[in-house]
Structure 1
Amino acid sequence: MTDKGKSPKIDTSVDIKSFSKTRDLTGWVRHLFMTVAVVGALFHLYILNINPIDPWVFRSTHLVFGAVLGFLIYPGWRTRSSKIHVVDWILVVVTIYVGFYIFVNLDQLLFRFGVSPTRMDFYVALAGLLIVLELTRRTSGWMLPLLALLFVLYVFVGPYLPGILHHSGYSVERFVTYIYGLDGVFGVTLDVSSKYIILFIIFGAFLQMSRVGQYFIDVAFAVAGGLRGGPAKVAVVSSGLMGMMNGTSAGNVVATGSLTIPLMKKVGYPPRFAGATEATASAGGQLLPPIMGAGAFLMAEIIGIQYTEVIIAAIIPAILYFISVYFMVDLEAIKQGMKGLSRQELPQLKDMLKSAYLFLPVVLLIYLLANGFSVILAGSLGIVACLVVSLFHPKTRMGLKRILHAFELGMKDSVQLIAVCACAGIIVGVIALTGVGLRFSSMLLSIADHNLLIALLFAMVISILLGMGMPTTAAYAVAASVVAPGLIRMGVEPLFAHMFVFYYAVISAITPPVALAAYAASGIAGTDPMKTSIQAFKLGLAAFIIPFMFFYSPQLLLEGGESVGGILFAAITATIGVYLLACAVQAWFFGKKASWYSRLLLLAASIMLMMADVTSDFIALGFVLIVILIQTVTARTEAVSRVTGQEKKVKM
């Protein structure tokens, strides 16, 4: 017992070491890893802000740093030993040589690669491709490398395939050097990785090492921890905030779920629901501006529009997603009669307010981005701001050691995304080389017969299938190359088309049967992975509907010069819609359990309210009134039955 019978305060700090699959380096290898990581982080900041160099050299060096660090810390097979195998050292040496070869022969390679490569060019490019595939396998599993190899196989079997899959074919030398060039591995995906993703991962590392990120979690606990089912609501808020800076949904689950999932179980949430809530919130963080898990940068680069256009369009849909998840956990808390954590267990809000200056790095970042400053400048100044605000208090103060550890953590956390962006470049390169993307667009047009709804349904299914088992960035890159062009050819605005496929690439992380975020959460919650993914699918159901709203309620994307009144009306009706959706999923409405037919009516009403159409809104209102009438009649019938039953007992 604590003094005066008070409950001890919960420890809101997050420790993810126990969930890591990386080596625990020691001795001189540990110092080598840290040195390479710090030099790599400083190299990127220097090139991005002070001294730009040739894009191919910069991206190849970016990949070299990621691969060297990856082979040092990610084992090639399951083993309890943290000793680095001789194979890993060989891969490190080959990685450095490939990068050095590009740097030394750059002027010639610009004309030779993909056109008339020498024998040595071919060997170097082949080694580079194998390094990318192996690094991706180690960091992200087999799914993405196998998909890349399937596309590679298509290059060589395409001449023997019929119909839209047929192409004239390419020699091995030309293909390998083309793919390991600026149109493949070092194309748009690795460009975004080297310029934006790594910058914001380093920013996230500084947030963590300066305890600014921890402050977000503490504030979430102080505000929402005492509400009914408080830890679940904390998970929704904190996982969303941290997830927008983390390029992988599963990684965010591990980072924040190690704290929130046990606390959700503590207040009464079933373990499966706790894991699903964390997975759904963590995946949703990738949809939340201003960073969107690096997806916004990639989208802006592919479409060729201003970054601010992407984040402005994403604001209302992301808010609707999190409101939906919030309603889901709140209704579950009501059904289960849950309470929140006691105030004695939570951080004090007044103490949090004293440290409100810790929000300054994020406020500065948003201000700079909203006012048209470059993304690189905003991210770099955000890093500096983290360092500055940390100096105001001894607990947060970053000395030289913590600064170096922040650089190291940033590079370490970047390895997986560097790998998947490079591997996604292989797929994007094959699509560009063979023209299969345009052929697929034609197929989509012919199947849909110019019916937009049918085309969107096909695009949804394909985007989810392509994204299963892959990190979000890679999933979106592939879907954007295969699916989005077909929608654009049907007359859909490029931003709408890319936002559509981006949403489904993100929620593939919680879509059975391969739901990486849900699987990661199930490991922490100690539940069945498949059942957890099904529960996460239910909680994130709004994300399957919201993308269709881009076309039927374009006001929600703040596009097209809509009036403020029209945007507010669409947002309010959509919010009511996501609430009714939560009621339908949770089978709870009007203070009572809802029957299956009431749930169907609520589901139909929710979808109609999400469309910016007055007629559909009135129809939805009619459905809701019918459900209220059903609930009222049912409640009275049950009350009469109870009274009658009690009277019979008295007579007996």
Structure 2
Amino acid sequence: MSERRDETMEPIVADGVDDEVIETNRRIFAGWRFTAVGLLATFYAAFHMAALNGLSIYEITGIRIPFLPTFPMETWNFRIVHVAGALFLGFILFASGPFGDEEEDRRPMIGRMAMVLMIPALIALGAAIWFATQIAGGVMWNGVDEAIRSREIWAFGVPLLIATGGAILLSWAHRGPRAGVSPADFVLGVCGIAVAAYLITIYGTLMRNSTGTPFAPIGISIAAVAGVALIMELTRRVAGIALVIISAVFLAYVFLGPFLPGFLTAPAISWQRFFSQVYTDAGILGPTTAVSSTYIILFIIFAAFLQASKVGDYFVNFAFAVAGRARGGPAKVAIFASGLMGMINGTSAGNVVATGSLTIPLMKKVGYHKKTAGAVEAAASTGGQIMPPIMGAGAFIMAEITGIPYTEIAIAAIIPAVLYFASVYFMVDFEAAKLGMRGMRSDELPKVGVMARRAFLFLPIVILIVALFMGYSVIRAGTLATLAAAVVSWLTPYRMGPRSIVKAFDLAGIMSIQIIAVCACAGIIVGVISLTGVGARFSNLLLGLAEASQLLALFFAMCIAILLGMGMPTTAAYAVAASVVAPGLVELGIPQLTAHFFVFYFAVLSAITPPVALASYAAAGISGANPMETSVTSFKIGIAAFVVPFMFFYNSALLMDGTWMEVLRAGLTATIGVFLLSSGVQGWFLGERTAWYMRVGLLVSALFMIEGGLMTDLVGLGIAAVVYLVRRFVNPDPDAPLVVKGAD
């Protein structure tokens, strides 16, 4: 806990929550490299902000610069540039593996070999530009003309594949010093630009309509092969191997599908046809990249502005002031603070690292076991992904895929989010009660009055919500909220001037790399699903299960959504599950919004579900506990979230679908249900410990309240009342055997 004090002389509990986290494989530059990369990242983020708001460089600066794009850009070109910029920045910033203590280049020969690969990379880039000049000169470009086909293969395709494949292999063997760029990684960045230059050239003509046909130039397929390899390699560097393995399995399925039995059988597809389509809006440039290039990067910029103005520190301090005195105070602070931070930053594991570095040690200090401390933070950070209005960007992907208005999705998410956080709160409160914990002392905490006087720091989020519900577009609302973050900073010690604004854009450009790579990689999977028809066959499988039991079909869908999401960031987990599972649920007759919320919840919960639980593992790294024990405990703490989707399946009023009386009754009875569920799991009911058979009764009463009908709610309440009466009058000692008072 920091001892630094500000001008109010009040304790600063949260200090540095907004500090940037440096990954083990991220390069740390100095001097001119630091300046150059910072300017690149700044320009990349500012380019998106300008493009999304329809502003050109000329309109901003009054200076007309040749060759720079005018806005609004054509949609496909914008997405291609979006991915290419992330590839170039990503390979410059992130090495192929973690850096050690050695700073010197111990394998200079491999570095020199990589420099040779710059020749074919530049040849491929030059060929793409040459093709553009030919097309502009009136050459009819197509995939049938043998002369054009030969040029594309030998002038563009072969050099590009040599440079891409060779540089990826050499980058695994050569990392170089942390303060410098590996030549192999620089080659990979150039290859990413060459892919983009070619695709913009070809898609700028009528050739986009020929994808998937014999008329498609073979260069599209070759560029897509290189692009897929680059995206998967960058995803491995910034998000781990899990999503890459799943993508590789789906790619293998494209070509092995004809040889598989049963519903897995797929029609034969040539490599040229498949890859000519996968780098279009049927795959990589489809819904996931559409969202990352608009809403996600916009809210990353918003989060970076909040970070630069130290609003994140205020969020955590405010939570400490409100909840720090309660028993087990730091755990309750983690719930509130991580929910606020998590809904903005869009990654469960990243939020654990940001807020958990403060809350986990404090939880251990007041008496929580280290595995419980980590589990509470993991569960709370994961819950931030389902917290409206931002929902860690998941709501935007859902809106893009379903066509349901974003505001409708945000409203529908309110009660399920409240139920989740209420359940986690009950869990940590009952744990604190069982262990006899105290809260933190008043002199350890910020004063509520001081925090209340700074409530204006919530203004950017208030403006965002108000603008959305006034009918402004998401982009305009996000832009206004970002501007508000800069304005309110002038009322704090961390005033944002030109230098701070540039730094915020720099930070946003770097923060966006992971999510853009992940969305592009998820687009590969989406492309495989749409082009092979495996999603429709999975829907038929669910329909077959539903004939036996609809509950069985839902349970199977839950398992697949969790399995697909294991080891993957939330955004990619939902995007993949929405393509595979959600259509099948809709085929069962489930409303589209309910089906997608069902899938979304379980994709999010994969972050705390054993055996692969990214958020829990990140928390275990801070708490020092066993990762598997932490993931099991976080699963237990977040258990209500595994029940809530079944709740709103049986009772759509929980998604605001119904009259106000129906919604209020559903919300009230569901809250009682998660209270009983938490009591049963923790063995603590109405201020007293309970025996095992009472816990079973409480769990059964909670499950009866899932269905949402009046009779089942009454049955659930009746069982809970029986448990209370047994505890009160029959067997007050939970450790004693069940003996009725007065019996022999």
* Normalised TM-score (structure 2): 0.83
Residue type at the aligned position of 2:377:
E
Structure-2 residue corresponding to 1:37: 41
Residue type at the aligned position of 1:461:
C
What is the aligned counterpart of 1:418 among 512, 516, 523? 516
Structure-1 residue corresponding to 2:74: 54
Whether 1:582 and 2:664 are equivalent positions in the alignment is no
Structure-1 residue corresponding to 2:659: 563
Once residues 570 and 642 of structure 2 are traced to their aligned partners in structure 1, the CA distance between those partners, rounded to angstroms, is 16
What is the aligned counterpart of 1:263 among 356, 362, 369? 362
Residue type at the aligned position of 1:29:
R
Residue type at the aligned position of 1:522:
A
Quote how far apart the aligned CAs of 1:291 are.
0.6
What is the aligned counterpart of 1:230 among 320, 329, 338? 329
Quote how far apart the aligned CAs of 1:451 are.
3.1
Q: 1:118 to 1:66 in 2, by over 3 A?
A: same
1:454-469 equivalences under 5 Å are: 454-469=552-567
Q: 1:636 to 1:334 in 2, by over 3 A?
A: closer
Once residues 354 and 324 of structure 1 are traced to their aligned partners in structure 2, the CA distance between those partners, rounded to angstroms, is 30
Quote how far apart the aligned CAs of 1:633 are.
3.8
Q: Is the 8 A contact 1:36 1:65 kept in 2?
A: no
Once residues 465 and 639 of structure 1 are traced to their aligned partners in structure 2, the CA distance between those partners, rounded to angstroms, is 39
**Root-mean-square deviation over aligned CA pairs:** 1.9
Q: Is the 8 A contact 1:219 1:352 kept in 2?
A: yes
1:72-87 equivalences under 5 Å are: 72-80=92-100, 81-82=177-178, 83-87=180-184
- Helix, strand or coil for the counterpart of 2:681? helix
Whether 1:88 and 2:92 are equivalent positions in the alignment is no
Q: Is the 8 A contact 1:570 1:610 kept in 2?
A: no
Quote how far apart the aligned CAs of 1:341 are.
1.2
Whether 1:107 and 2:107 are equivalent positions in the alignment is no
What is the aligned counterpart of 1:360 among 459, 463, 474? 459
Once residues 92 and 661 of structure 2 are traced to their aligned partners in structure 1, the CA distance between those partners, rounded to angstroms, is 56
Structure-2 residue corresponding to 1:645: none
Q: Tell me, which stretches of 5 or more residues in structure 2 are unaligned?
A: 4-8, 55-70, 101-176, 738-744
What is the CA deviation profile of residues 540-592 of structure 1, one whole-angstrom value per residue up to 9, with x for unaligned ones?
00000000111212111001xx2222211111111111111111111111332
1:87-486 equivalences under 5 Å are: 87-108=184-205, 109-115=207-213, 116-393=215-492, 395-449=493-547, 451-486=549-584
Quote how far apart the aligned CAs of 1:28 are.
2.2
What is the CA deviation profile of residues 20-63 of structure 1, one whole-angstrom value per residue up to 9, with x for unaligned ones?
55222222222122111111111101111113211111111111
What is the CA deviation profile of residues 47-103 of structure 1, one whole-angstrom value per residue up to 9, with x for unaligned ones?
111132111111111111211221122110232241321111111111111112222
Q: 1:89 to 1:540 in 2, by over 3 A?
A: same
Quote how far apart the aligned CAs of 1:469 are.
0.6
Once residues 378 and 113 of structure 1 are traced to their aligned partners in structure 2, the CA distance between those partners, rounded to angstroms, is 36
Deviates more, 1:75-84 or 1:343-352: 75-84
Once residues 157 and 501 of structure 1 are traced to their aligned partners in structure 2, the CA distance between those partners, rounded to angstroms, is 27
What is the aligned counterpart of 1:10 among 8, 13, 18? 13
| Aligned residues with identical type, % of pairs | 52
Whether 1:593 and 2:596 are equivalent positions in the alignment is no
What is the CA deviation profile of residues 143-202 of structure 1, one whole-angstrom value per residue up to 9, with x for unaligned ones?
111111111111111122233222221111111121112211111100000010000011
Deviates more, 1:426-435 or 1:63-72: 63-72
Whether 1:66 and 2:86 are equivalent positions in the alignment is yes
Q: Is the 8 A contact 1:23 1:74 kept in 2?
A: yes
Once residues 734 and 247 of structure 2 are traced to their aligned partners in structure 1, the CA distance between those partners, rounded to angstroms, is 59
Structure-1 residue corresponding to 2:724: 628
- Helix, strand or coil for the counterpart of 1:168? coil
What is the aligned counterpart of 1:25 among 7, 20, 29? 29
Quote how far apart the aligned CAs of 1:396 are.
2.3
Once residues 524 and 237 of structure 2 are traced to their aligned partners in structure 1, the CA distance between those partners, rounded to angstroms, is 17
- Helix, strand or coil for the counterpart of 1:263? helix
Quote how far apart the aligned CAs of 1:356 are.
1.6
Quote how far apart the aligned CAs of 1:250 are.
0.6
Q: 1:165 to 1:635 in 2, by over 3 A?
A: closer
What is the aligned counterpart of 1:616 among 712, 715, 730? 712
Q: Is the 8 A contact 2:616 2:631 kept in 1?
A: yes
Quote how far apart the aligned CAs of 1:519 are.
0.3
Q: Is the 8 A contact 2:25 2:99 kept in 1?
A: no
Once residues 640 and 460 of structure 1 are traced to their aligned partners in structure 2, the CA distance between those partners, rounded to angstroms, is 39
Residue type at the aligned position of 2:714:
F
Once residues 191 and 23 of structure 1 are traced to their aligned partners in structure 2, the CA distance between those partners, rounded to angstroms, is 29
- Helix, strand or coil for the counterpart of 1:185? coil
Deviates more, 1:120-129 or 1:102-111: 102-111
- Helix, strand or coil for the counterpart of 1:338? coil
Structure-2 residue corresponding to 1:646: none
What is the CA deviation profile of residues 410-446 of structure 1, one whole-angstrom value per residue up to 9, with x for unaligned ones?
1111111101100010111111101110011001111
Q: 1:638 to 1:281 in 2, by over 3 A?
A: closer
Once residues 518 and 117 of structure 1 are traced to their aligned partners in structure 2, the CA distance between those partners, rounded to angstroms, is 46
Structure-2 residue corresponding to 1:572: 668
Q: Is the 8 A contact 1:12 1:217 kept in 2?
A: no
Once residues 410 and 605 of structure 1 are traced to their aligned partners in structure 2, the CA distance between those partners, rounded to angstroms, is 47
Q: Is the 8 A contact 1:590 1:631 kept in 2?
A: no
Once residues 606 and 347 of structure 2 are traced to their aligned partners in structure 1, the CA distance between those partners, rounded to angstroms, is 12
Once residues 505 and 223 of structure 2 are traced to their aligned partners in structure 1, the CA distance between those partners, rounded to angstroms, is 30
Q: Is the 8 A contact 2:199 2:220 kept in 1?
A: no
Once residues 382 and 453 of structure 2 are traced to their aligned partners in structure 1, the CA distance between those partners, rounded to angstroms, is 31
Q: Is the 8 A contact 1:450 1:490 kept in 2?
A: no
Q: Is the 8 A contact 1:574 1:611 kept in 2?
A: no
Q: 1:194 to 1:105 in 2, by over 3 A?
A: same
Once residues 241 and 296 of structure 2 are traced to their aligned partners in structure 1, the CA distance between those partners, rounded to angstroms, is 23
Deviates more, 1:49-58 or 1:533-542: 49-58
Once residues 616 and 121 of structure 1 are traced to their aligned partners in structure 2, the CA distance between those partners, rounded to angstroms, is 59
Q: 1:244 to 1:21 in 2, by over 3 A?
A: farther
Once residues 732 and 625 of structure 2 are traced to their aligned partners in structure 1, the CA distance between those partners, rounded to angstroms, is 39
Deviates more, 1:395-404 or 1:375-384: 395-404
Higher alpha-carbon Rg: 2
Residue type at the aligned position of 1:274:
A
Once residues 20 and 603 of structure 1 are traced to their aligned partners in structure 2, the CA distance between those partners, rounded to angstroms, is 43
1:506-521 equivalences under 5 Å are: 506-521=604-619
What is the CA deviation profile of residues 443-480 of structure 1, one whole-angstrom value per residue up to 9, with x for unaligned ones?
11112216321211111011011110101111111111
Q: Is the 8 A contact 2:11 2:446 kept in 1?
A: no
Quote how far apart the aligned CAs of 1:614 are.
1.5
Deviates more, 1:23-32 or 1:309-318: 23-32
Q: 1:313 to 1:169 in 2, by over 3 A?
A: same
What is the CA deviation profile of residues 318-369 of structure 1, one whole-angstrom value per residue up to 9, with x for unaligned ones?
0110000011111111111111111111111211122221111100000011
Q: Which has the higher contact order (CA 8 A, sep 6+)?
A: 1
Quote how far apart the aligned CAs of 1:140 are.
0.9
